[in-house]
Amino acid sequence: MTDPLFARYVHAVTHLTVSPNMLDAGMKANIIADGAKAWVDIRSLPGMDRDFVDSYLFKAMGNARDDISILPFMGKESTISPVGNPLWDAIENSVEDLEGHRNLLHVDERRNRRSVLASQRNGRLRSGAVRRSHDILRDACPFSWSRRAGVCRVGEAYDGPLREGPPPLFQLLIDVICDLDGVLYRGDVAVPGAPEALRRLTETQTRITYVTNNSTRTPAQAASKIEDVTGVSTNPSQVITSSQAAVSLLTLEDQPTMVVGERGIVEALAQVGVEMTGDPENACSVIVGMDRNVTYDSIARASAAVRSGARFLATNIDPTFPTPSGFVPGAGSVVAAIATAAEREPEVAGKPNKAIRDLVRLHGIEEAWVVGDRMDTDVALATAEPEWRSILVLTGVSTIDDDLSAADHVVPDFESAVDLVLSRASGQ
């Protein structure tokens, strides 16, 4: 049975992952706050180290979200039962493993900081192997527990010096929040040097989270494109989109929803069971993103719904979108047409706004580098969070002629950004 501290985290993660649209703003804020506090407490337990928790718990959680369909477990209530819920079970298993790690190794300050097994301290050892009912957790830890713990085998005391931490290679734990369009590629063409730099970054103990305002693609499609263009394997759980951020703002009262946009929005809504409609009189909310097939009729219907009182949400308001042949109209251009016709401004979910920052925080990200090509989205995203630092690249929207003073660092391209991140991490 998971102890109360870990159970609090399981409770928070399950609610926010399975039923974000079933929670009002106040409930969501309370759950996020409690889950974040539990996570901080887990990291500070004796015998635990931060990078172990990060690499194990959050990767396990991400794999669970990616590999398990949550649709059969959606309900019409905000309380999700753990009974028969594989997502809950997978997360619970991962925190049970963390409990095992915490309980097995005990640091006794009075014995010259030598490691002492918990069995020597209280006469008992964790009974049996940790329960694993899901193969998705098998490879969650990137390197062996014994390498971190400084012990030989389970149940065997270790009289050597206590390791203050993993070897230098594994001490390099960096969070990088990376934009996609204009940073790694333009259209279907890689930015020169970006694939090699991305491979170099993934070879270190770096956790890369791709945060994009492009609402046209699902996380799986975005991950596939990263792999196709750069050759670097990417898990969909590493991708956060503005479509997901917009959907996270919806409540029960906002259904059904009208969509002006593409597959990224539609699938984000379907994943959490939100009803959709094309009828302006029936719509309780309208979500607008980039739509390369937008028509006069779709603008007219969306603006009519907004005029009638439907909640007006925009995935983002980026006016342009970089391609190999130049800039094309972005989601902001579509949003502006509807806002003008409806005479109302939208709530914006994507970068740099709070909705998408909350999703990033749910990945366990604290200090981070933010790499992007836009001052008004990427640099502004980093500016909004005191622990995040921005690196602006000049391969997308922003140019050297713009006012770049708000950026912490300005570099020519992604390759230079990776050089900067790794040099700072190694103290050079």
Taking only Cα atoms into account, the Rg of the chain, rounded to an integer number of angstroms, comes to: 23
**Residue the block writes with tokens 């004796």:** 46
Pairing of strands 326-329, 347-348: unpaired
Whether 266 and 259 have beta carbons less than 8 Å apart is answered as yes
Whether 35 and 12 have beta carbons less than 8 Å apart is answered as yes
Question: Would the CA dihedral through 70, 97, 51, 82 be positive or negative?
Answer: positive
- 4-18 vs 86-104: helix crossing angle, rounded to 10: 150
Q: Cα separation of 202 and 428, whole Å?
A: 19
Whether 221 and 425 have beta carbons less than 8 Å apart is answered as no
Supply 376's token pair. 């008004």
Cis peptide before 166 (omega within 30 of 0): no
Whether 301 and 278 have beta carbons less than 8 Å apart is answered as yes
Residue 54 a catalytic site member: no
**Residue the block writes with tokens 């809504």:** 269
Supply 160's token pair. 């050597």
Whether 254 and 280 have beta carbons less than 8 Å apart is answered as no
Whether 232 and 202 have beta carbons less than 8 Å apart is answered as yes
Of 391, 383, 424, 388, the closest CA to residue 410 belongs to 391
Question: What beta strand segments (E) does 142-245 contain?
Answer: 174-178, 185-186, 189-190, 206-212, 239-241
Q: Of 181, 291, 318, 373, which is the active-site residue?
A: 181
Q: Of 49, 179, 254, 358, which is the active-site residue?
A: 179
Residue 179 a catalytic site member: yes
Half-sphere exposure of 175 (CA within 13 A, CB side): 23
Q: Cα separation of 124 and 28, whole Å?
A: 40
Residue type at 396 in one-letter notation? G
DSSP 277: -
Whether 192 and 375 have beta carbons less than 8 Å apart is answered as no
Beta bridge partners of residue 312, listed in sequence order = 286
Instruction: Write the DSSP string, 114-128.
Output: EEEEHHHHHS----S
Residues belonging to the active site: 179, 181
